[in-house]
Amino acid sequence: MKTPIPEEEIRSGVLSQETKRKIEEGKISKLDLEVAQILYKINERYNISAAEFSKAIDLGRAILILTKGEAGVLIGKQGKVVAELSSALGKKVRIAEMRGDLKKSIADIIAPAKLLGINQVFHQGKEITKVRISKAGMAHLPIDLPTLESALRSLMEREVQLVIE
């Protein structure tokens, strides 16, 4: 199983200087560390060694877990893995795939609301990514707009603006 923290460090509970530096710089969050530890415990019961956990984002009422591999591995049969993650973290957990297709990744995050499109806009010398969401799907958004915008900004590592149409 791939996580931002090496397996030996999670098993021993002792973090290397490099991992500590990544945490101080904000490349790895405390939540990433906590999720990685929980996933290794879950891996002892369920075979999720094919999972590729890359980042966890706290959305307030829920936690978004991003994977570079198949999301189904972290969901588990009948949702057992994601249910254990939710129980251990004390919040609802959403899993989203982070592959090359940014549009699909964002659609996974905002589901069941409908993604209308993504546009790159240049305003006052800055590039802004506009994420357009259907007005009809607003009631179905899993989180509030400011938190969603912040999560997308963190995920994409650039300026994001949500537009409701």
pLDDT given for residue 101 in this prediction: 73
Q: Given this model, what pLDDT does residue 35 score?
A: 92
Neighbours of 118 (CB within 10 A): 16
What residue ranges define each of the domains in the chain, with the CATH number in brackets?
1-99 (3.30.300.20), 100-165 (3.30.300.20)
pLDDT in tens, the chain (165 residues): 888 888 898 888 898 999 899 889 888 888 999 999 999 999 888 888 888 888 888 877 788 888 887 888 888 888 899 999 999 999 988 888 876 677 887 887 887 888 899 999 998 888 988 999 988 878 877 778 888 888 888 777 788 888 888
What was the pLDDT predicted at 34? Answer: 92
pTM for the whole structure: 0.77
Structure confidence at residue 84 (pLDDT) = 92
**pLDDT at residue 100 in the model:** 67
